[in-house]
Amino acid sequence: MPDLTQRSFYLLLAWLDRDRDCAGEKYESIRYKLIKFFERRDCPAPEDLADEVFDRVCGKIDAGTLIRTPDHFLYFYGVAVRVLHEYREKPQPLPFTRGDGPVGVPPMDTVSERRARCLDRCLARLPVSSRTTIEQYYQGDRGEKIRNRKALAQRLGVSQQALRAQTLRIREKLERCVRGCMEAYQRT
């Protein structure tokens, strides 16, 4: 599923309400309810799953699907139920069962090696489009990095500000994932 673009986000807001301020309030209310929905079902990353629901709804709207509903949240709720079902059906990472780290992973010598392995694992768990975006966003040195980011924003059809917001969301997901992975290493 493609990540949220500025265009699809604006289409979502227009679908929620003609008044942009009112649409923004509805967006925040729905996002809060979705996070609570996933929290009550003991999901470890409720914000990420709520974002996935929004990405899917935005994708439908962006694709031109006409969604008619008297209650927008009910539509989001239906998508959230599907996302939850898919999440629970997806194989979970290998459990930590030995004192030297996860099953099938050799012991590590340094914290930086563990962090690198955690980052690789977390990157692999991202959708391909998110992984590509975050990797391209941080490529290059100084001037080259700036040029790369401008080109990336153009390729994605978003403003540089929207690209920054999108990569911040991806980075926050990665940081939470790496932190959780490192905590799991410390418990072993």
CATH number of the structural domain spanning residue 165: 1.10.10
The reply to whether 125 and 187 lie within a common domain is yes
In whole angstroms, how large is the CA radius of gyration of the chain? Answer: 19
Choose among 92, 83, 16, 91: nearest CA to 56.
Answer: 83
The reply to whether 85 and 101 lie within a common domain is no
The Cα 183–Cα 162 span in angstroms is: 32
- Look at the block and give the residue holding tokens 């942009």: 20
- pLDDT for residue 100: 45
The reply to whether 127 and 181 lie within a common domain is yes
The reply to whether 21 and 79 lie within a common domain is yes
The reply to whether 28 and 101 lie within a common domain is no
Domain boundary among 92, 122, 137: 92
User: Could you read off the pLDDT of 107-138 as tens digits, one per residue?
Assistant: 545 677 788 888 888 888 888 888 888 888 88
The Cα 120–Cα 171 span in angstroms is: 13
The reply to whether 147 and 180 lie within a common domain is yes
The reply to whether 25 and 88 lie within a common domain is yes
- Look at the block and give the residue holding tokens 């679908």: 15
Q: Average pLDDT of the chain?
A: 81
The Cα 185–Cα 188 span in angstroms is: 5
Domain boundary among 92, 127, 160: 92
User: Could you read off the pLDDT of 18-55 as tens digits, one per residue?
Assistant: 998 898 899 999 999 999 998 888 887 888 899 899 98
The reply to whether 2 and 70 lie within a common domain is yes
User: Could you read off the pLDDT of 134-184 as tens digits, one per residue?
Assistant: 888 888 777 788 888 899 899 888 888 888 889 889 988 888 888 888 888
The Cα 69–Cα 126 span in angstroms is: 31
Domain count, the chain: 2
The reply to whether 152 and 84 lie within a common domain is no
The reply to whether 171 and 86 lie within a common domain is no
Domain boundary among 92, 108, 133: 92
Give the range of the structural domain holding residue 183, as residue numbers without chain letter.
97-188
